[in-house]
C-alpha cells in the first residue's frame, strides 16, 4: 500500500466506472489499483474539475489588467472587451498564443537537437556520432548543399550553418522552404506566409497579441499560419532530420507495447518526454556491464529500459525499445509498483507524476534545465557528458529495486507490432531499394485501391475515453481504403489495439488490404513522435512531386485528424497542416465559438479565400471519418480519378499485375 494516501472518494465526487474512462485494459487495471491505494490521477482530477465554458470557447481575454473580459457565448457580438476588442479579436489572439507556444516548444526542441549536432560536428562531444551519412547527404542536397566529393565533416558543417537560419533568420525564407511543392510555396508567397526564422515568427506573433496591436482576426491568423509553418517546415523538421542523422533513420522493427513490457524481476527504468538524446544515452547506460552487474548484485535479473509518450515512440521506431503507454497512462503505470525510476525531460510531463511517484516510492527524476518539477529529484543532463546523468539514474533505480517494499502488480498485457516507417522507408518499401519512389503509392491512389491518405496524430485526453476515439476513427478509415499514417500518442493507442501487425490488413477495405498483403505492411504506419509530423509533410511533398495527384498539397486526396488532442503543440501542428493545404479535424473540443467570423475563417475562409486547407471540429469518430472520407472523395473528383475507383477489380489478374509491377521497379 502506498505511503502517501489521498482520500480520492472525498476528492472526486463521482466515482466513474474505469471502463468509461479508457479502453486500455492495462490502464483500467491500474486505475482500479490506484483508487484502492488512494492515489489520484488526471482521470480523477478531470472529473473533479469542470472546464470553464467561456474559456473553452476562447471567449475570455486577460491580456491586460482592465480585464479579464468575458464575452457571452450565447450572443458573442452583444459585448466587447473594455478596450473594445471583439470576440473575433479575442478568439484569434488566444488561438495565436496557443500556436506560438506550441511552435516555440517544437522549435526549442529542434534547436536543442541542432546545438547537439553542432557540438558533434565540431568534435566537442565524443558520446554521439553521425550515424546516418546517407541521410546527411540527402538532407544537405535537399537544400542545395553540394555533397559530391566532399567529406562528411564539410557537408555537416555547411548543413549546421544553413539550418541555424531555421531559427535565427530575420529576413528571407527558411531553408526547408525549398522542399515545399512549388504551387504551395507560390500560395504562401502570395499571402506573405513563407516563414522567416522561428524566433522572429514566435516573437512577432506574441507581439501582435498584446493589447492594442493587431486587432483584425484575419491578419492575426495570417501570422499564426506563418508562425506554425516555421514549426512544421522549420523547427520540427530540423528536430526529425537531425535526430535521424545522429541516431539513425527508422526502419521497420517489431516491438511490444503496453504495460506488460515491465518486468517484475528486473530493474525497470522508464524514459518519458520528447528529446532523444537523453534516451540514447540511457540505452548505453542500461547496457553497461558494470551497471548490469550492480543490478544483479541487488537481486535483479537485469535492467529493463522502457519508453513512454513521445520520446518512447521515437526510440521504439528507431531502436525497438518497448513502450509502456501513451500520455494518459503515465500516472497509471506507476501504480504497478514496478517502476524503479521514471526519468523525464520536456513536454507533456504531468506535475501529478511527482505525487504518484512519491506514493509508490518510484524515483522521479527531471533531467532538463528547462523543466524542473517540485518534489522531483533533478539530475541535469549535459550533452557533453551524457552518461554522468543516465548512469546516476540507473544507480538510483537499482537502489529502489533493492529496497522495493510495495506489492507489485503488472498487467499481463503486451501488444506486438511493426513500427518505424520513416518517410524514406515508405519510399523503399513501395518502390524497392534500388528505385525508391512514391510512384506505387500514387498509382494505387489513382487506380483507387487506396482511396486516400490520412494522418491521425496527437494526444490522449481525459475529457474523452482514452484511445477510443483514435481506434474507432482509424478502423473506420482503413475499412474505407484510407491508408493511415500516425505519430505520437495516437500511434500507441492503435498499437495497443493490435493494428500495427500486417495481419490487421483484414480490417482494411479490399483495395487497401490488397496493397498491404502485397507489400507485407500494416494498414496503419507509425512514423514516430509528435515532432515527427514533419515526416508526413515530406511524404505529402513527395506525392506531389511524383505527379498525378495535382500540383500542391491542397490537391492531394488526404486529410488529418487529432481526435483526442490536448496540447498547444497540437494546435500549432493543426495550423501548419492547414496552412500546408490539409483538411484537418480535431476532436474533444475546439477553442472557438460557433457562428463567429473567426471560426468561419478557420473552418472555411482559409480554403475558399486563400487556397489553403481548413479546420473542422467533430467529436464523434464515425462522423469524423465520414467527413475525412468525403473530403478525400472531393479531392479525387477534382483530380478526375473518382471514376477509377469504381473500376477496381480485385481478381487474381489485377493482383498479379500489381505484384509484377512492384518487382519491376
Ligand atoms: Fe479586456 Fe481588452 Fe484587456 Fe483583453 S486586452 S483583458 S479584452 S481590456
Ligand atoms: S506526447 S503532445 S500528448 S502526442 Fe508528444 Fe503525446 Fe500529444 Fe504530448
Tens digit of each residue's pLDDT (9 = 90 or more) over 318-327: 999 999 999 9
Average pLDDT score over residue span 510-530: 91
Q: What digits encode the pLDDT tens for the residues 144-155? A: 999 999 999 999
Q: What digits encode the pLDDT tens for the residues 347-359? A: 999 999 999 999 9
Percent of the chain with pLDDT strictly greater than 90: 85
> What's the chain's average pLDDT?
93
Alpha helices in 49-181 (DSSP H): 53-56, 87-121, 133-142, 152-168
- 434 has pLDDT over 90: no
pLDDT of residue 407: 95
Cβ(59) – ligand 1 distance below 6 Å: no
Closest ligand 1 atom number to CA of residue 93 = 4
Percent of the chain with pLDDT strictly greater than 70: 94
The closest residue, in CA terms, to atom 7 on ligand 1 is 81
Average pLDDT score over residue span 517-533: 90
Closest ligand 2 atom number to CA of residue 488 = 4
Question: 412 burial class (0-12, 13-18, 19+ CB within 10 angstroms)?
Answer: exposed
| Cβ atoms 48, 568 nearer than 8 A | no
Top-ranked range on mean pLDDT: pick from 2-11, 437-446, 502-511, 626-635: 626-635
Q: What digits encode the pLDDT tens for the residues 254-284? A: 999 999 999 999 999 999 999 999 999 999 9
- 656 has pLDDT over 60: no
Consecutive H or E run containing 345 = none
Average pLDDT score over residue span 481-487: 96
Q: How far is the CA of 208 from the centre of ligand 1 (A)?
A: 14
Q: What digits encode the pLDDT tens for the residues 614-652? A: 999 999 999 999 999 999 999 999 999 988 665 444 454
Q: Could you tell me the pLDDT band of residue 431, with boundaries at 50, 70 and 90?
A: low
Q: Is the pTM of this model over 0.85?
A: yes
Ligand having the closest approach to the CA of 85: 1
The C-alpha R_g of the chain, in whole angstroms, comes to 24
Distances (CA, A) of 488 to 160, 210, 274, 556: 27, 33, 10, 23
Closest ligand 1 atom number to CA of residue 89 = 7
Ligand having the closest approach to the CA of 309: 2
Q: Could you tell me the pLDDT band of residue 429, with boundaries at 50, 70 and 90?
A: confident
- 52 has pLDDT over 90: no
Distances (CA, A) of 626 to 475, 618, 658: 12, 10, 29
Q: Which of 333-337, 397-401, 492-496, 529-533 has the lowest mean pLDDT?
A: 529-533
Q: Could you tell me the pLDDT band of residue 55, with boundaries at 50, 70 and 90?
A: confident
627 forms bridges with which residues in the sheet? none
- 442 has pLDDT over 50: yes
Top-ranked range on mean pLDDT: pick from 9-18, 225-234, 653-662: 225-234
Q: Could you tell me the pLDDT band of residue 664, with boundaries at 50, 70 and 90?
A: very low
Closest ligand 1 atom number to CA of residue 67 = 6
Whether the CA torsion 570, 574, 576, 582 is positive or negative: it is positive
Task: Give the Cα separation of 601 and 89 in Å (integer).
Answer: 12
Q: Which domains does the chain have, with CATH numbers?
A: 79-247 (1.20.1270.30), 259-402 (3.40.50.2030), 430-639 (3.40.50.2030)
pLDDT of residue 168: 94
pLDDT of residue 647: 47
Q: Which residues contact 284 (CB under 8 A, 6 or more apart)?
A: 127, 386, 387, 390
Top-ranked range on mean pLDDT: pick from 11-15, 137-141, 529-533: 137-141
Give, for ligand 2, the residue of 570, 574, 587, 588 to mutate: max count of ligand atoms closer than 8 Å to Cβ: 570
Q: How far is the CA of 242 from the centre of ligand 1 (A)?
A: 42
Q: Could you tell me the pLDDT band of residue 75, with boundaries at 50, 70 and 90?
A: confident
Top-ranked range on mean pLDDT: pick from 245-254, 415-424, 564-573: 564-573
Average pLDDT score over residue span 413-441: 78
Q: Could you tell me the pLDDT band of residue 663, with boundaries at 50, 70 and 90?
A: very low
Task: Give the Cα separation of 335 and 546 in Å (integer).
Answer: 50
Closest ligand 1 atom number to CA of residue 62 = 6
pLDDT of residue 435: 54
Pocket of ligand 2 (CB under 6 A): 274, 309-310, 327, 347-348, 458-459, 488-489, 529-530, 567, 569-570
Ligand having the closest approach to the CA of 329: 2
Q: How far is the CA of 566 from the centre of ligand 2 (A)?
A: 8
- 416 has pLDDT over 70: yes
Amino acid at each position: 500500500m502506498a505511503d502517501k494516501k489521498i482520500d480520492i472518494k472525498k476528492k472526486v465526487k463521482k466515482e466513474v466506472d474505469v471502463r468509461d474512462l479508457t479502453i486500455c485494459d492495462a490502464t483500467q487495471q491500474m486505475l482500479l489499483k490506484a483508487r484502492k491505494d488512494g492515489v489520484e490521477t488526471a482521470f480523477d482530477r478531470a472529473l473533479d474539475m469542470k472546464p470553464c465554458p467561456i474559456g473553452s470557447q476562447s471567449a475570455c481575454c486577460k491580456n491586460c489588467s482592465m480585464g479579464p473580459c468575458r464575452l457571452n457565448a450565447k450572443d458573442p457580438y452583444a459585448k466587447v472587451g473594455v478596450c473594445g476588442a471583439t470576440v473575433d479579436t479575442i478568439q484569434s489572439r488566444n488561438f495565436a498564443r496557443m500556436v506560438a507556444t506550441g511552435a516555440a516548444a517544437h522549435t526549442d526542441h529542434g534547436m536543442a537537437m541542432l546545438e547537439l549536432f553542432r557540438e558533434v560536428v565540431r568534435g566537442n562531444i565524443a558520446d554521439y556520432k553521425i550515424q546516418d551519412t546517407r541521410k546527411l547527404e540527402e538532407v544537405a542536397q535537399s537544400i542545395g548543399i553540394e555533397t559530391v566529393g566532399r567529406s562528411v565533416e564539410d557537408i555537416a558543417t555547411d548543413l549546421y550553418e544553413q539550418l541555424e537560419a531555421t531559427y535565427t533568420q530575420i529576413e528571407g525564407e527558411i531553408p526547408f522552404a525549398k522542399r515545399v511543392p512549388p504551387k504551395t510555396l507560390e500560395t504562401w508567397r502570395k499571402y506573405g506566409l513563407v516563414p522567416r526564422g522561428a524566433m522572429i515568427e514566435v516573437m512577432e506573433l506574441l507581439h501582435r497579441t498584446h493589447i492594442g496591436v493587431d486587432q483584425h482576426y484575419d491578419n492575426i491568423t495570417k501570422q499564426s499560419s506563418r508562425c506554425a509553418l516555421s514549426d512544421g517546415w522549420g523547427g520540427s523538421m530540423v528536430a526529425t532530420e537531425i535526430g535521424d542523422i545522429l541516431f539513425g533513420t527508422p526502419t521497420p522493427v517489431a516491438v511490444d507495447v503496453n504495460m506488460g513490457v515491465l518486468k517484475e524481476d528486473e530493474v525497470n527504468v522508464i524514459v518519458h518526454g520528447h528529446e532523444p538524446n537523453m534516451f540514447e544515452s540511457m540505452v548505453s547506460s542500461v547496457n553497461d556491464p558494470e551497471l548490469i552487474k550492480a543490478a544483479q548484485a541487488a537481486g535483479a535479473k537485469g535492467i529493463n529500459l522502457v519508453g513512454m509518450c513521445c520520446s518512447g515512440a521515437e526510440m521504439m521506431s528507431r531502436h525497438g525499445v518497448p513502450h509502456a503507454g501513451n500520455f494518459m497512462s503515465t500516472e497509471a503505470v506507476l501504480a504497478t509498483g514496478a517502476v524503479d525510476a521514471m526519468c523525464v525531460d520536456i513536454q507533456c510531463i504531468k506535475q501529478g507524476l511527482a505525487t504518484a511517484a512519491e506514493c509508490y516510492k518510484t524515483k522521479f527524476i527531471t533531467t532538463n534545465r528547462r523543466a524542473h518539477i517540485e518534489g522531483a529529484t533533478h539530475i541535469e543532463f549535459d550533452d557533453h557528458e551524457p552518461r554522468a546523468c543516465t548512469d546516476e539514474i540507473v544507480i538510483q533505480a537499482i537502489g529502489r529495486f533493492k529496497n522495493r517494499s510495495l506489492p507489485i502488480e503488472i498487467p499481463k498485457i503486451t501488444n506486438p507490432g511493426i513500427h518505424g516507417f520513416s518517410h524514406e522507408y515508405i519510399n523503399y518499401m513501395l518502390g524497392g531499394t534500388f528505385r525508391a519512389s512514391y510512384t506505387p503509392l500514387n498509382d494505387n491512389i489513382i487506380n483507387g485501391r487506396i482511396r486516400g491518405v490520412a494522418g491521425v496524430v496527437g494526444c490522449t485526453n481525459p475529457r474523452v475515453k482514452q484511445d477510443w476515439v483514435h481506434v474507432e476513427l482509424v478502423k473506420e478509415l482503413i475499412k474505407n481504403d484510407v491508408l493511415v499514417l500516425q505519430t505520437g500518442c495516437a500511434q500507441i493507442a492503435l498499437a495497443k489495439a493490435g493494428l500495427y501487425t500486417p495481419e490487421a490488413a483484414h480490417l482494411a477495405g479490399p483495395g487497401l488490404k490488397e496493397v498491404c498483403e502485397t507489400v507485407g505492411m500494416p494498414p496503419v504506419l507509425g512514423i514516430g513522435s509528435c515532432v515527427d509530423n514533419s515526416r508526413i509533410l515530406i511524404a505529402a511533398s513527395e506525392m506531389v512531386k511524383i505527379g498525378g495527384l495535382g500540383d500542391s498539397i491542397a490537391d492531394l486526396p488526404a486529410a488529418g485528424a487529432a481526435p483526442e488532442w490536448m496540447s498547444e503543440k497540437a494546435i500549432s501542428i493543426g495550423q501548419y497542416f492547414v496552412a500546408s493545404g490539409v483538411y484537418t479535424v480535431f476532436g474533444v473540443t475546439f477553442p472557438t465559438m460557433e457562428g463567429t467570423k473567426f471560426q468561419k475563417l478557420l473552418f472555411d475562409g482559409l480554403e475558399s479565400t486563400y487556397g489553403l486547407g481548413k479546420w473542422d471540429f467533430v467529436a464523434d469518430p464515425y462522423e469524423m471519418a465520414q467527413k475525412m472520407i468525403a473530403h478525400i472523395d472531393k479531392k479525387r473528383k477534382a483530380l478526375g480519378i473518382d471514376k477509377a475507383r469504381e473500376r477496381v477489380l480485385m481478381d487474381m489478374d489485377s493482383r498479379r499485375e500489381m505484384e509484377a509491377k512492384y518487382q519491376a521497379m
